Amino acid sequence: MLTTAREPVADPTNQDLALVDAYWRAANYLSVGQIYLLANPLLREPLLAEHVKPRLLGHWGTTPGLNLLYAHMNRLIRARDLNVLYVTGPGHGGPALVANAYLEGTYSEVYPDIGEDEDGLRALFRQFSFPGGIPSHVAPDTPGSIHEGGELGYALVHAFGAVFDNPDLIALCVVGDGEAETGPLAASWHSNKFLNPVTDGAVLPVLHLNGYKIANPAVLARVPAAELAALMRGYGYEPHFVTGDDPAEVHRLLAATLEEVLGDIAAIQHAARGGAVADRPVWPMIVLRTPKGWTGPKKVDGVQVEGTFRAHQVPLSRTRANPAHRALLEEWLRGYRPEELFDDTGRLLPHLRALAPTGTRRMSANPHANGGRLLRELSMPDFRDHAVPVGRPAVESSEATRVLGGFLREVVAANTDRFRIMGPDETASNRLDAVLETTNRAWNAITVAGDDHLAPDGRVMEVLSEHLCQGWLEGYLLTGRHGLFNCYEAFIHIVDSMLNQHAKWLKTSRGIPWRAPIASLNYLLSSHVWRQDHNGFSHQDPGFIDHVVNKKAEIVRVYLPPDANTLLSVTDHCLRSKDYVNVIVAGKQPALTYLDIDAAIAHCARGLGIWPWAGTGHGEPDVVLACAGDVPTLEAVAAADLLRTHLPALRVRVVNVVDLMRLQSETEHPRGLSDVDFDAIFTTDKPVVFAFHGYPSLIHLLTYRRTNHRNLHVRGYQEEGATTTPFDNVMLNDLDRFHLVMDVIDRVPGLGESAAGLRQAMVDNRVAARRHTREHGEDDPAIAGWTLRSGN
Amino acid sequence: MLTTAREPVADPTNQDLALVDAYWRAANYLSVGQIYLLANPLLREPLLAEHVKPRLLGHWGTTPGLNLLYAHMNRLIRARDLNVLYVTGPGHGGPALVANAYLEGTYSEVYPDIGEDEDGLRALFRQFSFPGGIPSHVAPDTPGSIHEGGELGYALVHAFGAVFDNPDLIALCVVGDGEAETGPLAASWHSNKFLNPVTDGAVLPVLHLNGYKIANPAVLARVPAAELAALMRGYGYEPHFVTGDDPAEVHRLLAATLEEVLGDIAAIQHAARGGAVADRPVWPMIVLRTPKGWTGPKKVDGVQVEGTFRAHQVPLSRTRANPAHRALLEEWLRGYRPEELFDDTGRLLPHLRALAPTGTRRMSANPHANGGRLLRELSMPDFRDHAVPVGRPAVESSEATRVLGGFLREVVAANTDRFRIMGPDETASNRLDAVLETTNRAWNAITVAGDDHLAPDGRVMEVLSEHLCQGWLEGYLLTGRHGLFNCYEAFIHIVDSMLNQHAKWLKTSRGIPWRAPIASLNYLLSSHVWRQDHNGFSHQDPGFIDHVVNKKAEIVRVYLPPDANTLLSVTDHCLRSKDYVNVIVAGKQPALTYLDIDAAIAHCARGLGIWPWAGTGHGEPDVVLACAGDVPTLEAVAAADLLRTHLPALRVRVVNVVDLMRLQSETEHPRGLSDVDFDAIFTTDKPVVFAFHGYPSLIHLLTYRRTNHRNLHVRGYQEEGATTTPFDNVMLNDLDRFHLVMDVIDRVPGLGESAAGLRQAMVDNRVAARRHTREHGEDDPAIAGWTLRSGN
């Protein structure tokens, strides 16, 4: 059982609650003002049509609930000296968070053009959901937010990500009853099994049941209370219900409930940190049931609005043209009694301002919400220490991700407070298990004898939900820490839409001077398309990089290191970078090594380059064999070897591409090669046969503006995978060495008889390889064991 | 309370259970055989190295549990004459479902080369996860399956989709404890609030806790039983626990529990169908807790395997090289006593075969699992009846999706047993609300006064989860029905990965002769990128079509109807089609109409075409202005109008593209235009300025092989959206009419002074338009209200 360590806090007096109510009214007033008003912000004169915005856009429905929680939490932050981050699930309640940041003074600090006076109020109102202004949702522009409120479902997982390794932080997470229907949110509740009460902070979820979405009731608002309580207990929380539509009563109930749950949180943490080994604690949560659009117009045109889905956006829609609507709006605004809230200059009255905390205790100024400011660089061990020796290229083998695992082990060990590895149960499967020599898997649920590296303080986070892995990592990065998400390549598409939102956050943040850069979001995609022969077609999809490349060029980087040492170099680079989305695709199977560590570093720095040893040296070529990705590189190098052996007069240039963005024009991407440099490598007129890891169209998309694009022929994944052997899958997609040789022969004119013979031999090889596979159930060892035969 | 309607079924005798056990052993034997054996399938001789596969691939861990449920259900199907579909969440347990299909004779019926004799057994074993053979997962190849088992998380939502409008069907849905951690699965439990016990069938979820994933324990296996029970009650189910590791005891317990829950299901349905208005029933579910890899090797090399994560794949990995491992394998196989199960020819003994049902009652032959066989065509009202009159093009306006809503209302009304519309709370927002004149929103939770069109029999399914919308629809389509998923364009990326799996299912199914075509998966994406000005950047993403286009060409179709009548024609076409993924992008805002219904039909049939009335008539052009999408079409037509007015000597050809796939080469896509036809429209040497709905790169990707690609210049979404007005967002991305005119002037040589003046006027127009927007908060009415000014 819990030992108690509750700070005795005096019950709030009626006067306290009156102050909270006044603060709430002030926030509500500013929220309505933002949605409706262009001018006359303090209602010093009667409300006229021209004071109202011509185009009404915004979401009132969720706003009063967000403001209510904010006001109450303000009081408790002061009373208990808490460190609280406010995570807004119903992010379309943007007006609420903006209003509170303004009331706390933070808004004017970061946006000096929005001052704390009547002019500032007018500007604050006007800019909301107005051209050139701010979005209607909580967004990077909103001080105190780490959470874009556009796409719903990720509030709770972001909140957990934020409190990992932040033992003093409490994330107050408002979960909308709409977003509670999403899959990611439904799974997020289980994050409590991955939280360590000793070294992590706490999440206080508030499920806000205002009952409705845009047009429908919310499911969780329409199940019996006992069923909802069972659901929360089943998720491992103790629910506390706060229900009402009378402000005074709700104030009393909410204040008492918040006191209780904050006491519970303190008690849980005290007990855990006192050294007692305890079972997973049952954390508290709150179910807050208040009307949608509370304190807004009750009825409009004879139809009930408050407490229904009709309050979702703007309850009064014709306030310019319809004087009755406008009168209702004025009545609504005046009902908050602004004259009791703001002084003559438009500033919040001092006794109200005193309710809110100051400095970094203000939720709108919590430094965790501007994680870049707290970012401490990773302590980086030297990745060169983990290099594999490479004598002659393409002779020895290593498992690239296993080599990387050794380096990551040292990164984990050197950064036990700021680096985590996420993955859907695949960290060992992806051969990164060396990290378990220095840490465990985070786990705070039942353990049994025989369990493998499970402990509450583990820094490897594994759950069979790509959504949770991604969301935890986003929350962790946005609050100023570092991490890596390792995943099967095919199933990373599960988080396509989350990636979109994070990339949008990064792009927007770059334009906001007060937001400091954060660590990059790093993906390591292994178990990739070319080694999913045994799992078959359903596990084969290299398209995530296509998806990523559509994002803004200054945000995205895609790396395809061909071997172990290049993987080390690329990963070191990514872990040091800021504000990017880095995607690394690398194999886990034994694969040939090509470059020693110094060559690897130089090659990765260039991003692509000619491999003279793989081709016919340094001269001008007759054909370029390009490659990107470990398996295509193997096939291209093997194809070049065949060509050198059998067509010694043919000059072959082998080009390997690590950094895919180098292929784009410099006008399109900051890493893009100039046309001069591109032409120097790929020639202006010679055939280029490109063996690519992913869909061939991506290479065309990146290079269609290049001089020599008309001679570019790309092989890659054609959605022709099957249950077979690795080499057979490569053949099914015409990416194999034999087909590459055929492609070269078909494109270089005047090769003569010996080439025709070689071509036929390649056709025969393919037939023989297929036959061997079908008969023996494995690849021909002569192919699987191929190494570079020609001299270096 | 429930009234009872339980069929009295005799308790199973010991003899019954002995038969079930033998059947289970047979299925387990065949499962192990598939994973391990190349030859000697009945162990008629001692097991030699060469009898074992060289490459061991497969998942044993989940398999005995799947077989156990299958055997028990067989008995009950016969006893109660049930119609049961088996949905396999842990789809990597492919050997189990294949084994059972074989035991029931279905396998040999659909694959006559796999006979019911020793040769057939050998072939059955050899093909599993073997080159040229079948995947290790449940897949389209597996008789009785609607569920690809590769990507986890969708079993339960598929099961619900299958039973909608199938009142006699029970979907036995095995939920793996791994996939239970995924977001989509966590949300799927709430599907019971959308199921009508009168007209829908039942889902019996079995949460199979075998405790482990690949390397980790499963979360739900490591919470206290009371917590798990609370979770299930919170989801609205009554859990029944079956726990054990002694087969005899588990047989007794499982048999009794299945009797009880099937009785409960019958009672619920009887009560509901008796006409009593009842609250949402509490459906039963089962928590089955048995060891992972049950009946497999207990220890290998001194390490516990059975009951741990080590049993996930192949418990014995070196059965060729290591005689001790091989001896364990032989002992394991012989432990099932195959000589008591199969006759001398290798056929299952008749008294065991008699345990399974026959004909279409066999789960492996349930016709719902081959939905195309049950498919009844939609009864299609005439979409022409809903056409809007169009006199002169580009003069009148209509809201395209609102017009479509009228047609869909008639489709719903004419197909009340086989057509559903899914959407995440956006059907009304997307202006399809006319459908609510003939049906309701499906809802079987608490209702209150003021609710809008909620009823258990609703055919519009709305939940704030794109995963549930997609999954329900997939399950519905795969069992032979029809539907439409309407969604905000940006957030459809949430189901990217589900789309991948469905497209893979369709592609694979096309190669399986016994699988009949099913209705297409139809998306209507509205609230699209160009009208998310008010919601801002987070709601702007046109990239789903890029994602879709990467799928196999014969599966995907993308339509961008420019106005109301073309939307009608395209939708009619899509609803009639089979085995495609159709993506339709259409606006909901008032927009100009261009084509009367006859012209619209002709235009959509061609897929693209020249609009002489928008350009300078039929002659050879100086420049081509192409467009795809409603907003780009408006801008292109307006730009052409400006050019005709101000540069009357310039010959402008306006081309509108409805069917995006027409742009690809005919060698790349079955709908692709021949080069001759393409060149006739786009010319071989004139500048082409293309105004596109999505990312410009997609148009390049589709056309880079075309003769005139070097002269193609595409405008589209550049990730430069903001919170502003519609036209301002178009300008931010340089897609506006003024910029298109500038693009034309910049690309057509020799236009002279007047063009330079026009160009400057366009620059000035852009500045003025931006200024108007910033000052007034809305678009200049002169732009927003533009209609075609020139003569037709």
Each residue of B738-767: pLDDT tens digit?
Answer: 999 999 999 999 998 999 999 999 999 999
Mean residue pLDDT across chain A = 95
Interface test with A, best of B282, B493, B730, B773 (most A CBs within 10 A): B493
The shortest CB-CB distance from B497 to any of A53, A494, A709 is to A494
Residue among B384, B404, B389, B395 nearest B584 (CA): B404
Chain-chain contact of B234 with A224 (C-beta, under 8 angstroms): no
Check pLDDT > 50 for residue B122: yes
Q: What residues in A contact B451, CB-CB < 8 Å?
A: 217
Q: What is the pLDDT of residue B12?
A: 79
**Whole-number CA gyration radius for chain A:** 30
pLDDT at B149: 77
Residue of B nearest to A555 (CA): B719
pLDDT reported for residue B6:
47
- B180 in Cβ contact with B220 (< 8 Å): yes
Q: What interface predicted TM-score (ipTM) does this complex get? A: 0.96
Instruction: Say if the Cβ atoms of B183 and A181 lie within 8 Å.
Output: no
> Which H helix or E strand runs over B283?
strand B283-289
Contacts of B44 (CB under 8 A, 6+ apart): none
Q: Hey, what's the torsion of the CAs at A610, A615, A618, A620, to 10 degrees?
A: -100
Closest residue of B to A697, CA-based?
B701
Interchain CB distance below 8 Å, A538 and B494: no
- Indicate whether A7 pLDDT > 80: no
- For B576, list phi and psi in degrees, rounded to 5: -90, -10
What residues of A are in contact with residue B551 (Cβ under 8 Å)? Answer: 719
Q: Do B464 and A218 touch (CB under 8 A)?
A: yes
Bridge partners, residue B556, by sequence: B581
Break chain B into its structural domains and give their ranges. 14-373, 383-592, 608-784
C-beta separation of B36 from B52 below 8 A: yes
Q: Is the pLDDT of residue B81 over 50?
A: yes
Residues 6 or more apart from B791 whose CB is under 8 A from it? none
Q: Which residue has the higher pLDDT, B716 or B789?
A: B716
CATH of B608-784, one of 1.20.200.10, 3.40.430.10, 3.30.750.24, 3.40.50.920: 3.40.50.920
Confidence (pLDDT) at A527: 87
Q: What are phi and psi of A687, to 5 degrees?
A: -60, 140
Nearest CB to B464; choose among A181, A507, A728:
A181
Cross-strand bridge partners of residue B203 = B171
CA distance B703 to chain A (A): 10
Please name the residue that has the structure tokens 């096939």: A635
Q: Assign a CATH topology to domain A20-373.
A: Rossmann fold (3.40.50)
Chain-chain contact of A538 with B214 (C-beta, under 8 angstroms): no
CATH fold for the domain made of B14-373: Rossmann fold (3.40.50)
Inter-chain residue contact A463 with B134, CB threshold 8 Å:
no
Structure tokens at A218: 């919310």
Residues above pLDDT 70, as percent of chain B: 98
Quote the DSSP letter at residue A664. S
Q: What would the mean pLDDT of B229-241 be, rounded to a whole number?
A: 98
* Residues B547, A551: C-beta atoms closer than 8 Å: no
Q: Shortest CB distance from B215 goes to which of A150, A452, A490?
A: A452
What is the fold, at CATH topology level, of the domain defined by B383-592?
Rossmann fold (3.40.50)
Burial of B665 (0-12, 13-18, 19+ CB in 10 A): middle
Tell me which chain B residues have a C-beta less than 8 angstroms from the C-beta of A547: 496, 543, 546-547
Given an 8 Å threshold on Cβ–Cβ distance, is A217 in contact with B445? Answer: yes
Tell me the count of A-B CB pairs closer than 8 A: 345
- Give me the pLDDT at residue B326, please: 96
pLDDT of A132: 87
Is the model's pLDDT at A708 over the cut of 50? yes
Q: Do the Cβ atoms of A697 and B426 come within 8 Å? A: no
**Selected residue with higher pLDDT from A148 and B484:** B484
- pLDDT of A139 over the 80 cut: yes
Alpha carbon of residue B332 to chain centroid: 40
Average pLDDT over residues A316-333: 95
pLDDT, average across residues A570-586: 98
| 8 A C-beta contact, residue B626 and residue B688 | yes
**Residues A518, A554 contacting (CB under 8 angstroms):** no
Inter-chain contact A129–B723, Cβ cutoff 8 Å? yes
Do B183 and A538 lie within an 8 Å CB cutoff? Answer: no
Of B190, B491, B507, the CB nearest to A219: B190
Q: Which amino acid is at A375?
A: L
Interface test with A, best of B309, B422, B550, B725 (most A CBs within 10 A): B550
Asked if pLDDT for residue A357 goes beyond 50, the answer is yes
Cβ-based contacts of B132 with chain A (< 8 Å): 722, 724, 773-774
Interchain contact, A215 vs B425, CB within 8 Å: yes
Q: Which residues of B touch A454 (CB under 8 A)?
A: 216-217
Convert the pLDDT of each residue in A656-685 to its tens digit: 999 999 999 999 888 999 999 999 999 999
> Is B187 in Cβ contact with A181 (below 8 Å)?
yes
Q: Is pLDDT at A750 greater than 50 in this prediction?
A: yes
Cα(A183)–Cα(B724) distance, rounded to whole angstroms?
Answer: 31
Is the CB of residue A95 less than 8 Å from the CB of residue A34? yes
Residues of B within 8 A of A501 (CB-CB) are 538
pLDDT of amino acid A791: 46
Which pLDDT does position B298 carry in this prediction?
Answer: 95
Choose from A134-138, A525-529, A732-736, B8-12 the range with maximum mean pLDDT: A732-736
- What are the pLDDT digits (tens) for B411-433? 999 999 999 999 998 899 899 99
Interface contact A131-B723, CB threshold 8 A: yes
Inform me whether the pLDDT recorded for B259 exceeds 70. yes
Could you list the beta-strand ranges (E) of B333-377: none
Calculate the CA A403 to chain-centre distance: 26
Rounded to whole angstroms, the Cα distance separating A262 from A286 reads: 11
Structure-token pair, residue B71? 């055997």
Domains B383-592 and B608-784 share a fold: yes
Contacts by A131-135, CB closer than 8 A, 24 or more apart: A131/B723, A131/B724, A131/B725, A131/B728, A131/B773, A131/B774, A131/B777, A132/B722, A132/B724, A132/B773, A132/B774, A133/B723, A134/A94, A134/A98, A134/B723, A135/A94, A135/B535, A135/B536, A135/B537, A135/B538, A135/B723
**Distance from the B334 Cα atom to the nearest Cα atom in chain A, whole angstroms:** 25
Tell me the pLDDT of chain B averaged across its residues. Answer: 95
| pLDDT confidence of residue B10 | 56
Question: Per residue in A534-567, pLDDT tens?
Answer: 788 889 999 999 999 988 888 999 999 999 999 9
At the topology level, CATH places domain A609-784 in: Rossmann fold (3.40.50)
CA distance A763 to chain B (A): 19
Chain B: closest CA distance from residue A351 (Å): 35
Question: What DSSP assignment string belongs to A679-710?
Answer: HHHH-SSS-EEEEESS-HHHHHHHHTTSGGGG
Band of residue A10 on the pLDDT scale cut at 50, 70, 90: low
Task: Tell me whether residue A677 is exposed, middle or buried, using C-beta atoms within 10 angstroms of its C-beta: 0 to 12, 13 to 18, 19 or more.
Answer: middle
